[in-house]
C-alpha cells in the first residue's frame, strides 16, 4: 500500500460542558485522511493508525459535538473496528472514521466522484449509502446489513464494485445511438492509464509506459472522461483483485500521434480507430500500418528502433490530467 494516514485533528482530553465551533473542530475525535504524496506505509502501520483512531473515539464524552450527541457505545465501536479491518484486508482505505451525531460511528470512502458511507448505530443497526456524483440521479442507494461475517463480506463486494470496478452508465455502448464513429478531430483528447511507478512529473512519463502497436486508450468525444480508463480491475495469479484507482492518466491529442513516421526512409503510419466495447463505448486503439497500409498486428512485425522512436515522440507530447493516487483525495 502506498498511501499514508495523516492526523488532521486530535482529541482534547479537557472537554468542557460548552464547546465552541473552533474547539469542536479540534476535539472531534480523530479524523484521518489519505495523502497521495506521502511515503510508503506498511499494512501494519495502517492497521496501527486505525487502532489509534478508535482509541480516540473511546475517549469522547457526551456532548462532544457542542450539543447533546451521545458517544459511540461498545456495539457500534466493535462493529466499526471489525469492518475497518476487513476494508484494509481488501485494500480499501477509509477517507475518514468519525463519531456520528446520530449515536455511533460513521466511515467514509470516496473515489472517482463516488462516495460510500457506512454508519454503525449504537442500537446495532448498520446502514450503507452509495452516492454517485457522476450521474444525473441524485438519489443515493441505501441498504442495511447485520454484523455477520457474510453481510460484511457482501458489503465489501458492493463497495469494491461501486467505487472501483463499476463502469458509469454513459460508458456502456448500448446507451449510445451511434455504433462506432471513426471521425476524430485533430483536437480530440485521448487518454490511457499507467502504473504510478511510471510517473515522473505532469509533463513526463517513463518510456516503458507507452505501448505500440495497438495501444488502447479512451476518446473524449461523446462524453469520455480521463478517469474512465481507471475503471475495471485485474486478478493476480494468487486470486488477489487489483484495481487501477491509484494509477495515473496520460492525455494526448489526435494530432500528437506520430503519423507518418519515417525511419531510414521507411514510413510508419498510425491512426486512432474507434473500437467500442460493451462496457466502454469510448475505447480506441492507436493502430499502426506499414508502408503498404497493411495493419501491423504484432510488435515483431516492425523494427524495435522505429517503435521506440514512435513512443518517444508521443511521450514528449503527453500531459497528465490525473496524477497517480490523486483520486484517493476525492472529497
Quick: pLDDT tens for 14-25: 333 333 333 333
Q: Where are the domains of the chain?
A: 4-165, 170-329
Average pLDDT, the chain: 82
Query: In the chain, what are the helix, strand and coil shares in percent, each to the nearest 5?
Result: 30, 30, 40
pLDDT band at 5 (very low <50, low <70, confident <90, very high): very low
pLDDT reported for residue 208: 96
- Measured between alpha carbons, how far is 64 from 238 in angstroms, rounded to an integer? 46
Give the best-scoring range by mean pLDDT among 91-95, 173-177, 245-249, 269-273: 269-273
Quick: pLDDT tens for 116-155: 999 999 999 999 999 987 666 668 899 999 999 999 999 9
- E-assigned strands of 195-326? 199-201, 204-205, 215-219, 233-235, 241-243, 248-253, 261-263, 266-274, 283-289, 319-322
Quick: pLDDT tens for 281-327: 999 999 998 877 788 776 666 788 889 999 999 999 999 999 998 87
- CA dihedral for 287, 290, 292, 295, sign (positive or negative): negative
Phi and psi, residue 163, nearest 5°? -80, -35
CB 165 within 8 A of CB 130: no
Rounded to a whole number of angstroms, the distance between the first and last alpha carbons of the chain is: 21
- Please say if the pLDDT value at position 94 is more than 80: yes
CB 43 within 8 A of CB 22: no
| HSE toward the beta carbon, residue 33, CA cutoff 13 A | 13
Amino acid at each position: 500500500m502506498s498511501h499514508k494516514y495523516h492526523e488532521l485533528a486530535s482529541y482534547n482530553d479537557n472537554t468542557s460542558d460548552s464547546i465552541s465551533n473552533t474547539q469542536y473542530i479540534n476535539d472531534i475525535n480523530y479524523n484521518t485522511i489519505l495523502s497521495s504524496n506521502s511515503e510508503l506505509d506498511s499494512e501494519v502501520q495502517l492497521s496501527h493508525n486505525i487502532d489509534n483512531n478508535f482509541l480516540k473515539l473511546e475517549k469522547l464524552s457526551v456532548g462532544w459535538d457542542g450539543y447533546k450527541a451521545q458517544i459511540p457505545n461498545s456495539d457500534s465501536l466493535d462493529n466499526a473496528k471489525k469492518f475497518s479491518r476487513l476494508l484494509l484486508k481488501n485494500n480499501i482505505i477509509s477517507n475518514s472514521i468519525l463519531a456520528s451525531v446520530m449515536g455511533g460511528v460513521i466511515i467514509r470512502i470516496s473515489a472517482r466522484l463516488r462516495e460510500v458511507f457506512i454508519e454503525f448505530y449504537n442500537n446495532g443497526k448498520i446502514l450503507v449509502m452509495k452516492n454517485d456524483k457522476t450521474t444525473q440521479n441524485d438519489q443515493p442507494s441505501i441498504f442495511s446489513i447485520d454484523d455477520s461475517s457474510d453481510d460484511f463480506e457482501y458489503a465489501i463486494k458492493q463497495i469494491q464494485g461501486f467505487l472501483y470496478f463499476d463502469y458509469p452508465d454513459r460508458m456502456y455502448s448500448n446507451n449510445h445511438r451511434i455504433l462506432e464513429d471513426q471521425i476524430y478531430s485533430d483536437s480530440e483528447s485521448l487518454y490511457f492509464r499507467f502504473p504510478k511507478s511510471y510517473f515522473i512529473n505532469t509533463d513526463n512519463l517513463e518510456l516503458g509506459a507507452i505501448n505500440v502497436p495497438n495501444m488502447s486508450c479512451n476518446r473524449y468525444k461523446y462524453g469520455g472522461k480521463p478517469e474512465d480508463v481507471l475503471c475495471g480491475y485485474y486478478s493476480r495469479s494468487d486470486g488477489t483483485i487489483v484495481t487501477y484507482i491509484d494509477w495515473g492518466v496520460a492525455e494526448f491529442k489526435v494530432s500528437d500521434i506520430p503519423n507518418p513516421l519515417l525511419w531510414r526512409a521507411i514510413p510508419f503510419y498510425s491512426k486512432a480507430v474507434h473500437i467500442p466495447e460493451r462496457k466502454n463505448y469510448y475505447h480506441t486503439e492507436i493502430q499502426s500500418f506499414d508502408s503498404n497500409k497493411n495493419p501491423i498486428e504484432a510488435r515483431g512485425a516492425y523494427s524495435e528502433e522505429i517503435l521506440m522512436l514512435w513512443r518517444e515522440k508521443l511521450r514528449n507530447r503527453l500531459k497528465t490530467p490525473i496524477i497517480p493516487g490523486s483520486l484517493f483525495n476525492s472529497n
